[in-house]
Structure 1
Amino acid sequence: MDEQAIAAYRAAVRAGKYAPRAIAAALGLTPQEAARIARTLLDLRLLHPVPGDRETLAPASPDSAAADLVGPAEQRIRELQQSVSSTRNSLLSLLPVYFESRRSRNRMEAFDVITNISVLEVMIEDFGARCQSQALTVQPGGPRPPHLLEGARRRTLERLARGIRVEHLYQHTVRNDPASTAYIREVTAAGAEVRTTDQLIDRMIIYDREIVFLPEQGELDRRPGAIVVREPTLVAFLCKLYDQQWAQGTVFEPDAEDGTAITDDVQRSIIKLMAQGYKDEMVARRLGMSVRTCRRHIAEIMEDLDATSRFQAGVNVALSGALDEAVGRAPRGEAQRAAAGAGEGET
């Protein structure tokens, strides 16, 4: 529909019919343009032949044209939606049979391994949509990519709007990431709770404390899938593990942030991991930060300890007692061995 077609339709409605010659004269159109517009209006169901006189075209109202043009497609969509809903309900009605039969067959088979990523994404989305009370997540590895945060924002806000309790547990390094901070600011304002800690064991998603998604392990030749845990005893154990990590986390409120304590916590963790013999790359990976950021923290630690080498830093840490705090008040012999480990890294 261009401006000429709209003007021609307006003229046809006023005249009660589409007369090509009269419309061409009134609008300054050529016969070919008037014929083209007539075909366009016929295709859009805005013109129709008069019964008994197919040479005469009468205008139709836009609502009747819309019903005629898209009505069949809308009917097919409704039928497809009904079919999808019916199929889903029929299959989900078999869940009690499935779980009962699995338990009867083998109590040890308490989980499913999902290797197809597309199927996994649909399952996570579906269980999240049917969540009734709680959605708990553990997200290690530092800041998440912005495109993943966009999808997470939509899902989290939708769950919060339904009254679902949402808790996110991240590593401290997300506090320095603008995209993560913007996401956390928005979802906490809507009611979500977010905490951070120095280290996390692995990714975990828990819905209603009844089902848990864990990452698949040991796959090197393909993208890892997930393990879906439903067995009540295993789920209860994993929920207790989550609760312990949550209790040790620090509340993250982006607009009321004082980074001093967090920076101290990160640096204590670096000292602890260096004392255990980890190289810079592994320390950075464990704490969800870049190697460059990790080395910047190490440089600050050495400056605070007035050390010119890592060996000297290890000695100064041991003498100051900071290493005892970082490794949980280890016996003196163990603390000395840990200090030696802190001095064995790259110089």
Structure 2
Amino acid sequence: MYETGEIDAATSRIYRLRVMHATESLERIATRAGVTPQEAAAAESRLAALGLLQPAPSGGWAAVSPETAADTLLAAAQREVLERQSAIAATRARLHALTGEYLEARSLRSDKGSIEIIEGIDSIRSVIDDLARHCSSSVDALIPGGGLDEAAISSATRLDRETLARGVRMRTLLQHSARKHPPTARYAAQISAAGARIRSTGVLPSRILIADNESAVLPVDPEDHAAGVVLVRDPAVLSFLRRLFEHHWDRGLEFTAEEQENGPEPTQLERDVLLLLAAGKKNDVIAHQLGISPRSVSRIVAHLMDRLGATSRFQAGVRAAMNGWIS
């Protein structure tokens, strides 16, 4: 099931080249590596057997990080009898020996100012997995929709816990409707307990993932996630995406256990703001009467209008009264 020979220099070169040039022909890869097409094909077959290359839907190969390949290749073996433990450890060590090659090649794959289109579900998963495994400071995510797929939750929970264990700050913003989806609510509770921050808001523009404030992933088509993603490293675009995230994050409500059960009911302070809002008071007057800053009032009003789906302060007051939030 597993190869026992060493990964030779030619195979290592082929792997490195496939990380950098996923869509190039076998002949071009062979020329770059200084080997024959037959030798290149044999090396690719060996890398595929080790899980380091996977067939891409559009043809060719999708390179996989050594850690991910090791996890996939060895998952079943780790449940087998003890006598296979030495073979498993040896295989993992050989795969991890390529990490340096992978990271160096990965750094050369695209320059820091690039915007890259990634197609194919395997390639998309590989890119997201790679960002999560190698981020060092922060992961911020906007996730629209009423709830997460249970299979996605299962795989994300393990990776999220590993990321948080490295001391990475993780912030995830869901939609309010996700609170009514039990698997998503349990997922939010689990990773919150592990150190993540989870909030929800009314409307989100698109699914966005930002890693270390240096790379971002967003869908080519927000209605069809399988259509491909855009991998962004361009500083100007990243700056806009970070501001977009912070704008929606500041409007979000903490995803607490009480809110999961009872829904995003207003706090007493929010009810007080609503009463004054319905009375036609301006933000400065509300701030003065409640003893808080005008900026805090602006943020609370924005939250409330978003949750009520209101386009004006008057409409917010009417809808709050209809919801029984004020009397």
Matched AA of 2:101: T
**Is it true that 1:113 corresponds to 2:127 in the alignment?**
no
| Local SS of the residue matching 1:99 | coil
Q: Do residues 176 (structure 1) and 188 (structure 2) align? A: no
1:111-162: CA deviations, max 9, x gaps? 0011122111111101111101110111101111111111111111111111
Residue 155 of structure 1 aligns with an amino acid whose one-letter code is: L
Q: Give the equivalent residue in structure 2 for 1:132.
A: 136
Query: Does structure 2 retain, via aligned residues, the 8 Å contact 1:195–1:246?
Result: yes
Q: How does 1:39-188 map onto structure 2 within 5 Å? A: 73=87, 77=91, 80-81=94-95, 84-95=98-109, 98-99=110-111, 110-188=114-192
Which residue identity is paired with 1:120?
A: I
Conservation of the 8 A alpha-carbon contact between 1:196 and 1:252: yes
- Taking a change above 3 Å as real, the CA distance of residues 325 and 203 of structure 1, as seen in their structure-2 partners, is closer
Query: Unmatched 5+ residue regions in structure 2?
Result: 1-80, 271-307, 316-327
TM-score when scaled to structure 2? Answer: 0.52
Summarize deviations over 1:200-222 as a string: whole Å, max 9, x none.
101000001111101012887x9
CA offset digits 1:163-217 (Å, max 9, x no partner): 1111110000111111111111111111111111111101000001111101012
Q: 1:111 to 1:157 in 2, by over 3 A?
A: same
- The residue type paired with residue 175 of structure 2 is Q
Q: Compute the displacement of 1:84 (Å).
A: 2.9
Aligned to 1:237: 240
Give runs of aligned pairs for residues 21-32 of structure 1, distance below 5 A: none
Count of residues in correspondence between the two structures: 196
Q: State the one-letter code of the partner of 1:177.
A: H
Distance 2:85 2:243 in 1: 54
Contact 2:120/2:226 (8 A) holds in 1: no
**What code does the residue aligned with 2:108 have?**
L
Given the superposition, is the C-alpha separation of residues 254 and 83 from structure 1 closer, same or farther in structure 2, using an over 3 Å criterion? Answer: same
Bigger drift between 180-189 and 242-251 goes to: 180-189
Structure index of larger Rg: 1
Contact in 2 for aligned 1:184/1:254 (Cα 8 Å): no
Does residue 1:227 correspond to 2:237, yes or no?
no
Name which of 232, 247, 251 aligns with 2:254: 251
Give the Cα–Cα distance (whole angstroms) in 1 for the partners of residues 180 and 85 of structure 2. Answer: 53
| 2:145–2:178 contact (8 Å) kept in structure 1 | no
Identical amino acids, percent of aligned pairs: 28
Q: Could you say what the CA RMSD is over the residues aligned between the two structures, in angstroms?
A: 3.5
Question: How do 1:176-325 and structure 2 match up within 5 A?
Answer: 176-217=180-221, 223-255=226-258, 258-259=262-263, 261=265
1:86-121 deviations in Å (ceiling 9; x for gaps) = 5314413535xx417xx6xxxxxx400111221111
CA distance in 1, matches of 2:158, 2:188: 12
TM-score using structure 1 length: 0.50
Decide whether aligned partners of structure 1 residues 260 and 154 sit closer, same or farther in structure 2, where only a CA change above 3 A counts: closer
Stretch moving more, 170-179 or 236-245: 170-179
CA shift digits 1:32-74 (9 cap, x unpaired): xxxxxxxxxxxxxxxxxxxxxxxxxxxxxxxxxx99x869956
Identify if the C-alpha distance between structure 1 residues 325 and 141 changes in structure 2 by more than 3 Å, giving closer, same or farther: closer
Q: Give how far 1:80 is off.
A: 3.5
| 1:74–1:179 distance in 2 versus 1, CA, 3 Å | closer
Structure 2: distance between partners of 1:211 and 1:112 = 11
**Distance 1:88-1:252 versus aligned 2 partners, 3 A rule:** same
